Structure 1
Amino acid sequence: MSIDRETFENTSEEELTDLSVPDQVLGFLVAHDDRAFQAREIATQTDLDEGAVSTALTRLKQRGLVEHKATYWAVTTDEDRLHSYSGYERATALFNEQLGTENKDEWQEHAPEEAHPSQRDEV
């Protein structure tokens, strides 16, 4: 995954190397917690190898940090479990530093009117 020049210059080497593939995948899913993604979409968006992303997702699922349905993956809705994962804090801090903190009210202004297919209650 690429980082901007400012992050490159202002982040310690330890902080940059601490962000493992699972941390990056989890950070991506947390940043998009209102959606579910296929592994290849996550790989493309994070600039990671699809095989590494798939392995990371499997490990994150074993820890109860992500949910899996058909070919889609989403971050868990269990906030306590999520916050107990040490990589969550590092990933969140780095993504906030790179992209700024989230303002959910602003997101709602731009949210589509219709729910994503993964969020529909179709029978």
Structure 2
Amino acid sequence: SIPFDYLSVADELHSGRIKVASESVAAEYRESAADLAAEFAALLDQAKLSLAGEEQRPEEQLPSIDPEAIAGELGLDQPAKNADFGRIRRNFAFANHPDRVAPHLRQRAMIRMQVANMLIDEAKRRALAGVRR
């Protein structure tokens, strides 16, 4: 490797002693930009195809966002006096958190987590109100 002093190169460029023919630089820039634009368009098309293939999964059963179904998953449909709501919330989040699911399911997972948190908070309030009576 060749030793290179970046500060001295920057000083030379800013000094004005180095002259570059502007037309040749512009032409070279246009050529390289055209190559990059074509490469970027190809990558973008490839990404669109892979995402389109991800969305079309007819055999895949999507998780329900129905509050009753989520309450059943949480075990909140049965009366529990000493339920460990923190454990229930952590277990549900471990399996359903948006950061832990496939990208095409993240929006659905976010809704499921919001519904589950709402249901757990309501069950917790009811349990506390029952204890206070």
Q: TM-score normalised to the size of structure 1? A: 0.26
Query: Which structure shows the bigger proportion of residues in helix conformation?
Result: 2
Query: Which structure shows the bigger proportion of residues in strand conformation?
Result: 1
Quick one: higher RCO (CA 8 Å, sep 6+), 1 or 2?
Answer: 1
